[in-house]
Structure 1
Amino acid sequence: MNTEIKQFPKALWLLQVAYVSVILLANWFDIRIIEFGPIATDAGTLIFPFTFLLSDLITEVYGYKFARRAIWTGFVFNFIFVAYSQIVISFPSPAYALESNTKFDSLMGFNIRIIIASTISYLLSEPVNSYIMAKLKIKTKGKYMSFRFVFSTFIASFFDSFIFGTIAFYGIIPGIDLIKFNAAMWLIKVVVELIGLVFSIKLTKKLKKFECLDMYDHKTNFNIFKLDAAYSHDSNFYMKFK
């Protein structure tokens, strides 16, 4: 069956909005440390794994090129968030709001370090996640989707957790505790991926059917700085392996 590629996929915009929203939420709550029994982590870790689920889904259905665009979109909105927060705290405070504004400015000042750490780890881990997904899809001819989702997240979340945790909390969380903290973030991200796997696989299959798309990146230039999202018709394998 020769299926034409739709110029404007119907659901892609919603996935990209969700992706960017999760990134911004995670960055805002990363500053709050929480405990689960013996495990300590930042609150952003609970929601950040959904970026991997969403990028897996985008890569699987629409292709690496659209996942790459989503990654850069997230980066741009992060930059806007940081820039605006710096503008806000640079303004003088009225006397009656000095105490509360001082606390807010202190919070935002530390949150900048969190966001910088998150941005660096994000720009390294998210492309790795989508790259592994795209390459494994070609290697397996679209089979073993669950394995590909989990494996790509397992590798990418390792880089994300240890890079982010080290930059954000070095000098704040001591020595071995920082290693445990990073490992806990990694574990939680993988567990969240596993919990959401059934839902994400079902959604992926429904989206393929809904969009009539199942993109393969045989001819893709995986350079993260490329922004083109054009695919030839023979990149769409929807129904070819059915």
Structure 2
Amino acid sequence: MTGDIARIDGSTGGGRTFRYFDFMMAAFVTILLLSNVIGAGKVAVVNLPGIGPWPFGAGVLFFPVSYVLGDVLTEVYGYAHARRCIWAGFAAMLFLAFMSWVVVALPPAADWGNQAAYEAVFGQVPRIVFASIAAFWAGEFVNSFVLAKMKIWTQGRMLWTRTIGSTVFGEGVDSALFYPLAFLGATGWTTELVITVALTQWGIKTLWEAVLTPVTYGIVGFLKRREGVDVFDTDTDFSPFRIGAKGR
């Protein structure tokens, strides 16, 4: 169905089979894995006019995109479908963490001299892994819940208010959990530094959401027209502890 958008109350999607949902789930999980593999371990630097070198975690380039995709999933397909994607991402992150530990722990061949470099890139501190997974899980569910509720309150108008508003809450929960769980009490991390970094990352991630608003509008508009639905979570069971894509 193209150009004929039907309002669906509840997260079942009216029993429809969606054409692009699987692609969106794949993109969501891919971004999560990228942010944890090639972004989380590197501290980059950018020269800011009048300030000078400013260090930042490279993962900030990837991870906020998962919130954009989470917003799109909830806006187009409803909370229950977004919940399914969050659990898929959660499982993928657990598997990534486990396999990274297994591969790093395997004894290297005697003539292979890259073990130290491999450990530096893929070796993961259990505390940070736990913090990352817990913060992602809680933050994404808060993000999806807030957006679904705001969509009802705004009657589907002013998409930007709920994409940015839900990110403020979702990324706020994510940062508030991750940095204390990962670094509070760790060597070199004072309480003040943990709070400062958490607030800085929260602000940057929220700003990313605002900057990407035109992209979000484009993706949401395309998917709603192609799928032919606009889901409102008026009768949805918002418990995060469900896997199915049905709202009740």
Same fold (TM over 0.5): yes
Which residue number in structure 2 is paired with residue 114 of structure 1?
Answer: 128
- Counterpart of 1:128 in structure 2: which amino acid? V
Q: Do the aligned residues in 1 keep the contact of 2:81 with 2:246 (CA within 8 Å)?
A: no
CA RMSD of aligned residues (A): 2.1
Tell me how many residue pairs correspond in the alignment.
Answer: 231
Match in the other structure for 1:174:
189
Q: Decide whether aligned partners of structure 1 residues 197 and 2 sit closer, same or farther in structure 2, where only a CA change above 3 A counts.
A: closer
Listed one character per residue, the Cα deviations across residues 85-133 of structure 1 (whole Å, up to 9, x for unaligned) are 1221222112222x42133235433354433221010111000000000
Residue in structure 2 matched with residue 240 of structure 1 by the alignment: none
CA–CA distance in 2 between the matches of 1:2 and 1:205?
A: 10
**Distance 1:109-1:2 versus aligned 2 partners, 3 A rule:** closer
Q: Deviations over 1:171-201 (max 9, x none)?
A: 1442222222111211110111011101111
Partner of 2:9: none
What is the TM-score of this pair, normalised by structure 2? Answer: 0.86
2:236 maps to which residue?
220
TM-aligned CA distance change 1:2 to 1:212, over 3 Å: closer
Give the structure, 1 or 2, with the largest relative contact order (CA under 8 Å, sep 6 or more): 2
Aligned counterpart for 1:199 among listed residues 215, 234, 238: 215
In proportion to residue count, which structure has more helix? 1
Instruction: Assess if the C-alpha contact under 8 Å between 1:41 and 1:181 holds in 2.
Output: no
SS of aligned partner of 2:111: helix
Q: Distance in 1 between matches of 2:172 and 2:5?
A: 39
2:95 to 52, 66, 80: 80
Q: Which deviations, in whole Å up to 9, do the C-alpha atoms of 1:52-103 show, x marking residues without a partner?
A: 1101111011000000000000011111111211221222112222x42133
Alpha-carbon separation, structure 2, partners of 1:39 and 1:223 = 40
Matched, 1:31 2:41: yes
Partners of 2:222 and 2:118 in 1: how far apart? 44
SS in 2 for 1:93: coil
Match of 1:56 among 66, 71, 92: 71
TM-score (norm 1): 0.88
Name the structure where strand makes up a greater proportion of residues: 2
Cα 1:67–1:34 shift into 2, 3 Å:
same
Decide which moves more: 7-16 or 166-175: 166-175
**Percent of pairs identical after alignment?**
29
What secondary structure, in the 3-state scheme, does the structure 2 residue paired with 1:214 have? strand
Unaligned 5+ runs, structure 1: 233-242
